[in-house]
Structure 1
Amino acid sequence: MKVLVVGAGGREHAILWKLAQSPQQPKLYCAPGNPGTEAMATSVPIGTEDVVALADFAEREGIDLTVIGPEAPLLAGIVDHFAERGLRVFGPRRAAALIEGSKAFAKSVMSKRGVPTARYGDFTDAEAARAYVREQGAPIVIKADGLAAGKGVIVAMTLEEAEAALDMIMSENAFGDAGNKVVVEEFLTGQEATVMAFVSGQTIKLMVPAQDHKPAYDGDKGPNTGGMGTYSPVPVITPELLAEVERTIIAPVVEGLAADGTPYQGVLYTGLILTTEGPKVIEFNARFGDPETQVVLTRLESDLLDVFNSVVDGTLEQQELVWSNRAAVCVVLAAGGYPADYRKGDVIHGLDSADAHSAIFHAGTKQTEAGIVTNGGRVLGVTGFGADLREAQQQAYAAVERVGFAGVHYRRDIADKAL
C-alpha cells in the first residue's frame, strides 16, 4: 500500500514513524517532508497547500491513502478536492475543519449544543471589542478568530494589556486576516489537557490524553508558543473524567456537525481546561496536535494504518484501539528567541543519538552541505519513554543532553505538574 503524508513538521515525522512500524509495510511518501522523515519516507517537493499538485501526484503515483497533517491545507479544501477526484484521503472537509479555522464558528457550534466553554463575544469592530473588554474587566483572553500558528491567543491580566492585544490583532494586523475578527473570552483557571479522538461520521474513538505546555518558559511564564512539550498519561484525567469529556463535549460537537450537514472525518483535537466547575473547551483543532502527537502515537499499539483506513472507509466502530501502559514525555528544542525573532542555519549535533528509550522528531530542520541545520522556531521534539512519567521524563532529558545546537532553548519542567 502507498501512503502519502502531507506536512513537514514533528507531527508528520511522528505519524510516519508509527506508520513505518505497520506489519503491512506500506511504501511511504511525505510532501514536502524534512530531513527526519527521509529515513522512512520518500520526500515529495510539493508544498502543503498546493492542493492540485498534491492530488496530481497521488493520482499519478497510485497513492492508496493520503493523510493530511497540518491545518492550512484542510482549510484550503484539500480533502474536498481529493474526494472529488476519487482519491482516498484522511481528514475533515473544509466545512467541518472550520471548527479550527474559525474560533467564532467553534463557539457557535458549542453554544447550540450546550457544550461547556468560556463565556465570550466575537467582534469585527475594534471599538465594540474594546467596549466589551471594559465591561467584562480583566483578566480576559483575546483570540484572533482564524489560524495563527498557535500564537493568536493573548491572556491579558490587565485592561491595558487587553486593549494593547486588540490593537495588535485588529489595527496592526499582527496575524493578518486571521485577526479580522476576534473572540474575547472570560479567563478560566485550571490545568489544561488535550484529548484527541479519531472520528468517522458519528463514531468516536478516544486517544490517550496528553498535556501540552504553551508558554515559552518554565513555570508557564512568557509568551504563548506552538507548544514547548507534552506528556502522556495525564494523571488528572481519570477514566471517569475522560468519559465525561466524551459525553458532554466531543459527542455533542460531532453530532452537531453531522446534523448541520458537515459530518466529521479525521482527528478531532479538544483542548480542555479543568475548572472547578468541570472540564471546559479552550479550542478545537481539526487534526493531530503538535507536539501532542509525539507522545500519543508513541503509546499506540494498534496498527495506525488500519485505524486510518477504518476512518476513511466508515468502519471505525469495528476498530479496537490498544494503548501501551508506558509513559512518554516530549521536550521541544526551540531556536533561541522563539516565538519572537529567531535565527536559522545553526548546525545540529547528536541527531543519531536516540536509543531504545527515546525518539527524536524533526520539526524545523533543513539539510545543507554543512549538515542538518535549524530552519524553524521549534526545531526538534525529543521524546523519552518509561514505565512511568518520572522515568519517561528522565529519559527525555537524558536524550536532550545528547542533541543540540547553538542558542538552543527548551523548558526544563515538562511533566513536573504530573509529578
Structure 2
Amino acid sequence: MMEEKAHGARAIENPFVKPENQGWTVSLHRSLVRSVSPPPARGRKRRRGCQNPRRVADEDGTKPEDQPHSGSNVDIAAIEAGKEDVEDHLGIFSARLRASTRAELPQVPRLAHSAWRDLYLRNQHDDGRHFVVHQHDHPIAGPHYDLRLQFSRTSSLSFAIMYGLPGNPNSKRLSRNATETRVHNLWNHLIESASAASGSMIIWDTGEYSVLPYYDNDALQTDQSDASISAEDHLTESEKLRRAFHQRKIRLRLHGTRLPPNYTVTLRLARGNNASRQPTKRRRTRDRRKEISRRPELTSSDSEELEERPSSDQPSHSDQEDEIIRQTNAYRGATNSLASIYQRTWYMTLDRVNSGFDRCVDSTRAVRWARKEEASPGNGASPSGFEPFFVRGPDFERSVLTGRLGSDVLSDEAVVGFRGRRGWRAVLE
C-alpha cells in the first residue's frame, strides 16, 4: 500500500494523458540524489596537444633534473608573454624541449641537450657571455632572426635581423640591418614556442661570444696588436661588449654550433641613427582603414631596405606595463643598464678578414675573397675560413637543439589558424 502511495505521488496525473500512460514515472537526475559531501572527484581534462612527439634522448639518457617538470602541462607561450610567472625556467624549458626532440638528420648541426644545459648554467653570473640566434616567424613582422647577447646576470641585448646572419663572403648583399629591440631576460634564450598571435620560434644557434678590438680599415686581429689589446686583457667579454656598445662599434665573434669556427661580424651605428632617447608613443591621426588601403603589397622583389617592424613582435601586457616597457626598453625582470634604444638601426656586415678570408684579384681584375691558407705544425697548410652558407627561412631551417622546423613547433603546441606573412625571400646571391 505504501509503495502504491509512493508510486502515486510520483505518477503524472494529467486529465489529458491517456489512462494507459499515467503509469509513467519521472526518474530524478543522479546529481539530485547523491551525497553532497564529499564532492565527487572530477576527471582531469587532457590539454589539447599534450601528446608528445617521438622522443629522442641524448646519448647520456634522461637526466634526473628533467623529471620534476612534465612539460606537457605548461604553456610556454604564456610564460614568454609574461602571463605566467615561474621560477625554474631551465627545468621547465629543458623538459619540454627534450620531449620534443626529433631524430637527427645528416648534415644538420645538432647540439646535445646536456651540452645546451651546461652552456646556460656556466653563464649564470654577472660576466656571462651567452648568445642565441632565434628564428622567429611572426604573422605581422614576418620571418626574421633575433640575435641576443647576454651583458649581465639577468639581461641580454637584442637585435632583429630580417634575413639572418651573412654567410657568403662574396655575396652582393653582404650587409644587414640590425635593429635594436627590447632588452630581454636571459631565460628567453631557452625558448622554443608557438602561438597563433606570435608565430613560431626556434633556436637557430646558441653558444658564447667574444668581442675583438675594432679597426676601421677591416684589419686582421693578430697577436702582434699589443697596443690596443693589452688595455682590454683584464676585461671580461661582457665588459668588452658594454664598452663597444657605448662606442657604437662592435666586432663580434660567435662560437656556436651551426656557425663555423672564427665566424666574426661587425656592428656599427651611423651618426644619423645615434638616437639617445626612447621613441615616443605614436598617435593615430588618420583612419586606420585608409592607411591599410594605401599600403603597398609586399612582393618577393622588395629590396633589403624593407625591414621588419619590431613593434609588432612583442608579448602582450597591460597598459601600465606597456608604458613601463616603453620607457625603459626592457621587459619585466630585465634591466636596460646599457641604455639600449628601441628600433635604433645598426649596420651589420661579415668581417671577412677575421673570419679567415683573403682578398684576391684574378686575371680579369675581379676581386674575390678566398679561404686563407694557414700553416699548422705537422700537418702542412690548411684552409681557414668556411664554405658559404645561406639562411633559407622557416621552411628549411631546423632548430640546432630539437631538430624541429617552425611548422613542427606549431604542431607540437597545437596551434591552429596561424598564417605567416608572405614575401620573405632568402639572400642567395
TM-score under structure 2 length normalisation: 0.23
Instruction: Please state which structure has a larger fraction of its residues in strand.
Output: 1
Instruction: Please state which structure has a larger fraction of its residues in helix.
Output: 1
In terms of Rg, which structure is larger?
2
TM-score under structure 1 length normalisation: 0.23
